[in-house]
Structure 1
Amino acid sequence: MNPIITLESPRLQWIGVSLSNPTTTAIPFGTTVVIGRNGAGKSTLGRIIERGRNLATNRVRTSATDLKVTRLEFNDIHSLSEGKVTYMQQRFESSMNDEVPTVSDLLPRLDSTGMATMPFDMTAMSDKRINYLSSGETRKLLICRALCGQLPDLLILDNPYIGLDTHSKAELDGALRHLASQGVSVMLLVCDPADIPDYATAMLPLENMTVGALVTGTASELRRAASHLFEPTAEAYAPQRIIPPTVNANVPVVEMHACTVRYGSRTLLESVDWRIMPGERWVLSGPNGSGKSTLLSLICADGPQAYSNDISIFGRRRGTGESIWEVKRRIGYISPEMQLYFGGGSATVRDVVARGLNDTVGCYTRLSDEQIETAGQWIDALGMTHLSDRTFSTLSTGQQRLALLARTFIKEAPLMLLDEPFHGLDATQKNTVRRIIDTIAARSGAAIVFVTHFPEEVPEGFTRSLRLPSR
């Protein structure tokens, strides 16, 4: 059978970015995995196949002249509301505006007939306004929207499993198998051999912006073939801290009593009690939509109901005159929400990391030589030395995530809230970050909360857990 896509140009280009394609690459019908480390060129290839195959610089032959290609990459999951807000509290409070759509508004076929073609069962959240959706829930919605109309000939999903819990991941795999039975070819862009699904039959490796030779075989054979792309790096280390700890070992870092978050008839959290002592390491888990990020937003005072609940941070009751900067000064925080709206402007990676010491994004104060040097040490530790002078906004999603982790780690705060910290990282980087978290936890006595859907991701020494129920 003829391939669905053939890459014929020795060099493929997309808006100033080039991929080397040393030999003609024929991509077969069925399920193909495009795999490589962060920054290898996977998303660029996806964009070229979707929208750049008719450019004069790109000779890309398709199996049909009217080939319908649909691509999803989830960079702005809240664009569904046709507006973009900066902070979590603005997004929540915008629910007072009747123009914010519900899931059923965006899925006109959310009925017994249309559900047959949907990859996920969305009925339970049909009346939920989209600004209440978790990262994983919004991914489900975007995928359903892409598939509820005319089915494409080729569906390209960029990092499709990020943010999905185990059940949702299985649902997506089942839906993609079903699409294959209907003649839809699927291309999955992933950065971890563990994400190669059992039904994949071909793999296209990318390394250093170069398209490799297509590999075919069983899923286990493809995973073994991909492993060479993710060789371990040198032993990870964490630079010496520059800010001494300022925590009373006998005072809870966080104390929450019966914390509840409601908007109208929608309950996001209900009666949560939680006490975190200095040095404790917690795993926070729960299915998509259970309220994990909402709970952390209360601690950081980013949630609009952070001041209407019984919360004490470092022994001080929330709402007793402290400023937002006092709250954040002793908290290191990273989340998918933060990355979506970070921006970074024209700042370089070095500036973004260094300004984590001041909890700022813009150039409000001049960085000291010591701060710049410390930022460089963290950039080196995370293997990003070659990216230190790059503008943050030009990085791949995974590279941005790594830079924001360096920004989070740099002040080695006494409380670290790591909301899905491996979100978008490739297999090598996950191992590096895991070892750095181990080092920080062992030497600093920081209290750390690690949010994940997958127990195998949890670093060593995390002995306490809180699991939120499904909502």
Structure 2
Amino acid sequence: MNDRKSKSPFGDLGVSVAIQNLNLKYQQKLVLRDLNWTINRGENWILGGISGTGKTSLAKIIAGQQSALGDIKVSFAINSILPPEILFVESWYQFKNLEGVANFYYQQRYTSQQAKDTLTVHAELVNYGKEKGLHFDQIEPILEALNFSSFASSQLIELSSGEHKKLQLVKALWLKPQLLIIDQPYTGLDASSRKNLNILLDEVSAQGVQLILICNDTELPNSINHFAEIKDGQLIEVDSLELATDTQKHEREIPDFLKESPVYSSQSIVKMVDVNISYGEKQVLKNINWEVKAGEKWLLQGHNGSGKSTLLSLINGDHPQSYANELYLFGNRRGSGESIWDIKQHIGLISPEFHWYFDATSTVWQSIASGFYDTVGLFQQLPYSKSAQVDELVEYFGLTASKNELLSTLPLGKQRLVLLARTIIKNPELLILDEPCQGLDQQQTQHFNQLIDELCGNGMTLIYVGHFESQLPTCIEKRILLEKGEVKVVENILESV
């Protein structure tokens, strides 16, 4: 049973929202159907359930960012010192360069020119504070709690997905709007940051901020007192212990071409010898020594900002400083004549950042097929054998009904499944999965990790980045832990359990 507080101490100053007969149709499909929802003053909600049910769309409608048919009435507290605003924090943050352009390419975050293209974190926060009339001395406790103070001089384009999430959260907690809606608040955050975020959310709730969090997480702020899901287009209040997940079992057999072992070009997949990476005076990686051998399954962990994304960019051939280090990939020293595409043909990659920059105008089928050529869109005709493999994966992931739809039109969870299919289409020697289950619900996460266990049982090499210990493939054997750019731990997980 839900034993949480039923009202905030500032409930009489809170926001009330009345939604009646809300309807939303998307591409001829009715997503929200005569939806009704009453949010009373002092109520803090979790909106959970399976991907694709319209949770994000509903949040955008409440925040006035998306139109729909129906009645929405928002009553702000007149006597509150908090701004009468509804702030919607999206799952992903879309930043722009100094010229107002947002169309960056994936490798651009690692080049030396980006410093001239985007604002620093400090400049971004200064601009936001001026725009909203906020006092800068109030932000430092938030930065410290989320371990974000050290990123003041970092360029926006240099930030990882978890760091961008923190920047959004810092702004929201600094503003303290009367109604704060956060889509996937814990995405990309390490365990310490998740815990501190809950404390901060409870603090602002006690000051009168009402919360709507879109997530299926179990470790939540104490101030949450109502739970709901969207089912068949309508909102249903549920008990906190019974948030729905997709209970349908996935019984399709893995395609035959993914049951075969990868053809290895070398028994040494990755070898780093005293690798160092710096941006100006800021050293991101310090004296990294690490070897990944064929068939090994590694877990890569570390707090946000520990250097994980930079380490992976070296392996994937995206980082220009790899030439200045002693780095061996698939048996060859980096810089011995191989191109970035020679490296990528051995690798299957998925990461939040790659998802950001992927061509959202490709169809589902084209997106998966592009994995054969490591492109962000399909620019050539596939031979019959490869087309058949795409069809097999489309069927396996349950995407047949969506195969001709644009990737950008799918819910985030399904977009991620499409990119997962793209990642494994060529049965690569090395699978790099950087927070692969961001945006997926519990059932989808479990299914994906079962798939990885099955794939890696046939000899594929794996580097898996994940913060949640309970949401990892069981095949993982070894762990490397980074701390402030240095290797803190290298261990055999099976022996340490």
Does the 8 A contact of 2:449 with 2:473 survive in 1? yes
Between the aligned partners of 2:188 and 2:74, the Cα distance in structure 1 is 32
| Alignment partner, residue 289 of structure 1 | 305
Cα-to-partner distance string for 1:389-432 (whole Å, 9 max, x where unaligned): 21111112221111100100111101111111111111111011
| Alignment partner, residue 466 of structure 2 | 452
**More displaced 10-residue stretch of structure 1: 58-67 or 137-146:** 58-67
Selected match of 2:123 from 98, 101, 105: 105
Rate the CA distance shift 1:99–1:301 in 2: closer, same or farther, 3 A.
closer
Cα-to-partner distance string for 1:299-337 (whole Å, 9 max, x where unaligned): 111112122211111111111111221111111111111
Is 1:302 paired with 2:318?
yes
Does the 8 A contact of 1:205 with 1:213 survive in 2? yes
Is 1:57 paired with 2:57?
no
Partner secondary structure for residue 291 of structure 2: strand
Is 1:134 paired with 2:167?
no
Partner secondary structure for residue 241 of structure 1: helix
| Alignment partner, residue 268 of structure 2 | 252
| Alignment partner, residue 202 of structure 1 | 226
Shift of 1:235: 3.3
Query: In the alignment, residue 334 of structure 1 is paired with which amino acid?
Result: I
Selected match of 2:242 from 195, 214, 225: 225
Q: Map 1:315-334; keep pairs closer than 5 Å.
A: 315-334=331-350
Selected match of 1:20 from 32, 51, 58: 32
Does the 8 A contact of 1:32 with 1:187 survive in 2? yes
Partner secondary structure for residue 51 of structure 1: coil
Rate the CA distance shift 1:237–1:4 in 2: closer, same or farther, 3 A.
farther
Rate the CA distance shift 1:98–1:327 in 2: closer, same or farther, 3 A.
closer
Is 1:364 paired with 2:349?
no
Is 1:405 paired with 2:412?
no
Between the aligned partners of 2:142 and 2:475, the Cα distance in structure 1 is 44
Shift of 1:74: 3.8
Q: Map 1:357-396; keep pairs closer than 5 Å.
A: 357-396=372-411
Does the 8 A contact of 2:367 with 2:378 survive in 1? no
| Alignment partner, residue 218 of structure 1 | none
Selected match of 1:212 from 208, 228, 235: 235
Selected match of 2:105 from 79, 84, 87: 87
Does the 8 A contact of 1:281 with 1:464 survive in 2? yes
Rate the CA distance shift 1:95–1:199 in 2: closer, same or farther, 3 A.
farther
Is 1:181 paired with 2:206?
yes
Between the aligned partners of 2:218 and 2:102, the Cα distance in structure 1 is 33
Partner secondary structure for residue 211 of structure 2: strand
Does the 8 A contact of 1:70 with 1:156 survive in 2? yes
Does the 8 A contact of 1:204 with 1:211 survive in 2? no
Query: In the alignment, residue 123 of structure 1 is paired with which amino acid?
Result: S
Selected match of 1:48 from 49, 61, 66: 61
Number of residue pairs matched by the alignment: 457
Rate the CA distance shift 1:359–1:204 in 2: closer, same or farther, 3 A.
same
Between the aligned partners of 2:54 and 2:431, the Cα distance in structure 1 is 32
Shift of 1:177: 0.5
Between the aligned partners of 1:61 and 1:100, the Cα distance in structure 2 is 38
Shift of 1:23: 5.5
Partner secondary structure for residue 323 of structure 2: coil
Does the 8 A contact of 1:87 with 1:341 survive in 2? yes
Structure 2 residues not aligned, in runs of 5+: 1-11, 79-83, 130-134, 486-497
Partner secondary structure for residue 249 of structure 2: coil
Query: In the alignment, residue 455 of structure 1 is paired with which amino acid?
Result: E
**More displaced 10-residue stretch of structure 1: 177-186 or 105-114:** 105-114
Rate the CA distance shift 1:378–1:198 in 2: closer, same or farther, 3 A.
farther
Shift of 1:198: 4.3
Is 1:32 paired with 2:58?
no
Is 1:267 paired with 2:283?
yes
What's the TM-score, normalizing by structure 2? Answer: 0.85
Partner secondary structure for residue 272 of structure 2: strand
Shift of 1:157: 0.5
**More displaced 10-residue stretch of structure 1: 123-132 or 106-115:** 106-115
Partner secondary structure for residue 321 of structure 2: coil
Is 1:70 paired with 2:87?
yes
| Alignment partner, residue 183 of structure 2 | 158
Percent of pairs with identical residues: 31
Query: In the alignment, residue 236 of structure 2 is paired with which amino acid?
Result: A
**More displaced 10-residue stretch of structure 1: 421-430 or 361-370:** 361-370
Does the 8 A contact of 2:93 with 2:164 survive in 1? no
Shift of 1:341: 0.3
Structure 1 residues not aligned, in runs of 5+: 216-220
Query: In the alignment, residue 172 of structure 1 is paired with which amino acid?
Result: L
Between the aligned partners of 1:56 and 1:160, the Cα distance in structure 2 is 25
Is 1:430 paired with 2:408?
no
Between the aligned partners of 2:327 and 2:35, the Cα distance in structure 1 is 60
Query: In the alignment, residue 180 of structure 2 is paired with which amino acid?
Result: L
| Alignment partner, residue 148 of structure 2 | 122
Query: In the alignment, residue 312 of structure 1 is paired with which amino acid?
Result: Y
| Alignment partner, residue 365 of structure 2 | 350
Deviating above 6 A after TM superposition, structure 1's stretches of 4 or more consecutive aligned residues are 14-17
Partner secondary structure for residue 322 of structure 2: coil
Partner secondary structure for residue 375 of structure 2: coil
Shift of 1:202: 0.9
Between the aligned partners of 2:340 and 2:142, the Cα distance in structure 1 is 46
| Alignment partner, residue 132 of structure 2 | none
Partner secondary structure for residue 188 of structure 1: strand
Does the 8 A contact of 1:382 with 1:432 survive in 2? no
Rate the CA distance shift 1:117–1:432 in 2: closer, same or farther, 3 A.
closer
| Alignment partner, residue 470 of structure 1 | 484
Rate the CA distance shift 1:114–1:460 in 2: closer, same or farther, 3 A.
closer
Between the aligned partners of 2:15 and 2:77, the Cα distance in structure 1 is 13
Partner secondary structure for residue 142 of structure 1: helix
Cα-to-partner distance string for 1:60-104 (whole Å, 9 max, x where unaligned): 122249952000114344437644353344223355644632222
Does the 8 A contact of 1:254 with 1:276 survive in 2? yes
Between the aligned partners of 1:187 and 1:128, the Cα distance in structure 2 is 30
| Alignment partner, residue 19 of structure 2 | 7
Shift of 1:172: 1.1
